[in-house]
Structure 1
Amino acid sequence: MADRVRRQHTVSRFYLKGFADDAGKIRRISLPGKPSIILSTGDATVIKDFYTVTLPDGSLSDFFEKAFSNIEGAAAEALRLILTGTWPIEGEAREAFATWVSLQHLRSEDVRSGQGHMNAEMIRLIVGVSGKEALRSLIQNSESRSVSDEELDREWRDITKPGGPDITPNANQHVRLLTDLLPATSAYLRDCHWTLFRFNRRSIATSDHPVTLAVAPDHPRWQGVGIATAELFLVPLSRRAALTIQPRHRFPQTQMGAQHVPDFIQQGTTAIARSINQETAARARKYVYHHPDDAPLEGLYLPNPETRDQPSVSNTTGLIREEGLFAGMTDDQLRALSATSVPSDDDRGMSIEDIPWPIPGRRPMAR
């Protein structure tokens, strides 16, 4: 394709229609609650070039956006079946919708942002353990020039600050992760237990991150929330329906065994609608969406989006030392430390020499 800007949707348009009025309009609430505007579903979740990847020759490609449209087509038919009374859905329809739920989660801004945070934290740890002089050597060897103490101090402070250096999320890396995880995640969700909630009067909202990974209140904060640790997956389906997908190993056991429990359909209550809307709003990134005539967010907590990309609390700060973590250790001590871990034949670990310099995607330092 030509190197041009493309408007790409991070949430499927067919899905948003279930929350829109007859004219295809939907209300968008900016967190933490204002402003509220009405716009078309075609304009609601657009980000420029979000899936556009850079090919080896430097050209840009929207191949993956087109590939996603094939998944969305089959999922749209599966969603139509659900909303018009078919339950449970099985076979190809279930496969298609499980794949779409997986895609919708994996292609989200949160997943891409999380990748950037992980990269930054890893760079912070490696540089921090190696020490300032190792950082100086990395820069000097990469750029064939000397590095002053003032410049080194500036680089050290930025790279080893909480969260690590500021790195712009990378589309290529994100799409690579998505394609790697999509088949297994789809199969995992397909084989889970599904519960459909229908609402006669209460209205349901959705967001720019419509697949919520929920956990129990006592879930350890340090553990994080991911596909393997989520208690259930929550997906608003329309202004009058929502779906929960629960891994069978987390499903309460019955006399028949969890593998034999059929998918449920349940009439929604005011309390359930409120709980679903609160979870959806709490996990939204920037926006919540709902039908223009509804008010499903009244009385709910709406988070401030500015907290989404703040550095996570890291327990590795004690390893960050200007002199390097292993400075002052004798050869015998280093050998003893090395003997406590036995790497595989193809895993030599990672050192500061493996960090490319300049760091790809790193944003300019604040002066």
Structure 2
Amino acid sequence: MEISKRHHTVPNFYLKGFGSAGSKPKIGAVSIDDGKRLVMPTSNATVRKNFYALDGHPDGADVFEKELSRIEGDASAVIRKAVDGSWALSWEDREILGTFLTLQFLRGPDTRAWMDQTHATLLSNVITQMGAESVRRTLARSGKEVSDDVLDRLLQQAVSPTGITMKTTPAGHIRHILELVPELVRYIVGRPWVLVRFNRKKLFTCDTPVALIRDPEQDDGLGGVGLMTAWGISVPLTREVGLLLSDPMALVEEAAERITPEELLDDVISGRYDHEQVGSTKMAQLFNSHTIANARKWVFYHPEDADLVPDELPAPRDREVDSEVISGK
């Protein structure tokens, strides 16, 4: 059986929603690094060799990639229903799409870089606090003898701005995904979902399409934002349809005197508060601005929409982790 080595970090079916028509759809792409633009087959976008490979797995190194493909197939059918006019979704379809969005939030290179940098920062802090002789003794207890030169280089790396270099394995990343999906999916399905249909305006997407939106009334540009604390979550589903997962707190305040928080959550998850609306210019700007701001390497767009993508893009993001926050500074 052939083992797949070409792993999409954003699925091909999804990218086709922003690509040209035909049996081999193409998509426009602009690089965050240098602004270079090109057109490529959707099947080639976001491909990384062996990104999810589990070497030695009895079911093949591409077992996780195959499982992702199965989940993507289910999600593709649900997105197609929504795009074609079936809204609100059934409970089952909502769960399928919510699980897919949570996976998409966790599966990309940005999460792996976050893991690399978090582990590197923590290890660097520990080594710096321990000091040379304590590190030497600790390594010796585990049967590892190091020379003075190696120890000096280790300590120098620990105090450098980037810290010690760490590389998360595919197995470590996949373990992280499997542990977090059951925990985080509640912050996806536990929000009111708004399907926004655009008649004239067009949407872009990127290599990290699930974007967190800060509260516009409290956005001071400081501090982080997560799935739980985000005012909203934007996901462009196709060139003409976007999904906005809105803030549930307004519902909590409104329903506080009528029902319990548990009952309200059940209502939200059931889709009772989901609705759809016609997209405005302001809403298109909200989606596209957050898509561009959330991109790590690439912004993607329909080839006919190239003129709509701004020439000025945010600077490349080389850090996913604020080392000072981890250090407690």
TM-score range, shorter chain: 0.7 to 0.9
User: What does residue range 318-337 of structure 1 map to in structure 2 within 5 Å?
Assistant: none
Instruction: Indicate the residue corresponding to 1:264 in structure 2.
Output: 275
Measure, in 1, the Cα distance between the counterparts of 2:127 and 2:89: 51
Classify the secondary structure of the residue corresponding to 1:225. coil
Deviation of 1:187 after TM superposition, in Å, equals 3.7
Measure, in 2, the Cα distance between the counterparts of 1:151 and 1:70: 46
Residue 275 (1) aligns with residue 262 (2)? no
Richer in helix (by share):
2
Instruction: Indicate the residue corresponding to 2:49 in structure 1.
Output: 48
Distance change in 2, residues 1:296/1:142 (3 Å):
farther
Instruction: Indicate the residue corresponding to 1:293 in structure 2.
Output: 304
**What do you get for the CA RMSD once the two structures are aligned?**
2.8
Deviation of 1:247 after TM superposition, in Å, equals 4.7
Structure 2 residues without counterparts, runs of 5 or longer: none
Classify the secondary structure of the residue corresponding to 2:194. strand
User: What does residue range 102-251 of structure 1 map to in structure 2 within 5 Å?
Assistant: 102-142=102-142, 145=145, 147-148=147-148, 150-217=149-216, 218-219=218-219, 223-249=223-249, 251=251
Deviation of 1:138 after TM superposition, in Å, equals 3.5
Instruction: Give deviations 1:254-273, integer Å, cap 9, x for gaps.
Output: 36779356212121111221
Contact 1:12 1:72 in 2 (8 A): yes
Measure, in 2, the Cα distance between the counterparts of 1:106 and 1:286: 16
Instruction: Indicate the residue corresponding to 1:304 in structure 2.
Output: 315
Classify the secondary structure of the residue corresponding to 1:82. helix
How many residues align? The count is 315
Contact 2:197 2:279 in 1 (8 A): yes
Deviation of 1:48 after TM superposition, in Å, equals 0.5
Instruction: Give deviations 1:142-175, integer Å, cap 9, x for gaps.
Output: 5654622x44322201023234211123211110
Measure, in 1, the Cα distance between the counterparts of 2:308 and 2:168: 31
Contact 2:18 2:302 in 1 (8 A): yes
Contact 2:188 2:227 in 1 (8 A): no
Classify the secondary structure of the residue corresponding to 1:228. coil
Instruction: Give deviations 1:87-123, integer Å, cap 9, x for gaps.
Output: 1112221111111111111111111111111111110
Larger radius of gyration: 1
Instruction: Give deviations 1:264-292, integer Å, cap 9, x for gaps.
Output: 21211112212211110111110010100
Instruction: Give deviations 1:72-97, integer Å, cap 9, x for gaps.
Output: 11111100111111111122211111
Measure, in 2, the Cα distance between the counterparts of 1:102 and 1:144: 40
Measure, in 2, the Cα distance between the counterparts of 1:225 and 1:6: 34
Instruction: Give deviations 1:29-85, integer Å, cap 9, x for gaps.
Output: 11156211111111111001111123489x962111111111111111100111111
Measure, in 2, the Cα distance between the counterparts of 1:102 and 1:143: 41
State TM-score, norm by structure 1.
Answer: 0.77
Classify the secondary structure of the residue corresponding to 2:243. strand
Using the TM superposition, name which of 291-300 and 224-233 deviates more: 291-300
Structure 1 residues without counterparts, runs of 5 or longer: 320-367
Measure, in 2, the Cα distance between the counterparts of 1:301 and 1:126: 40
Distance change in 2, residues 1:315/1:238 (3 Å):
closer
The AA in structure 2 aligned to 1:36 is R
Classify the secondary structure of the residue corresponding to 1:196. strand
Instruction: Indicate the residue corresponding to 1:365 in structure 2.
Output: none
Deviation of 1:8 after TM superposition, in Å, equals 0.5
State TM-score, norm by structure 2.
Answer: 0.85
Measure, in 2, the Cα distance between the counterparts of 1:73 and 1:318: 43
Measure, in 1, the Cα distance between the counterparts of 2:48 and 2:183: 27
Residue 65 (1) aligns with residue 77 (2)? no
Residue 92 (1) aligns with residue 92 (2)? yes
The AA in structure 2 aligned to 1:70 is R
Classify the secondary structure of the residue corresponding to 1:224. coil
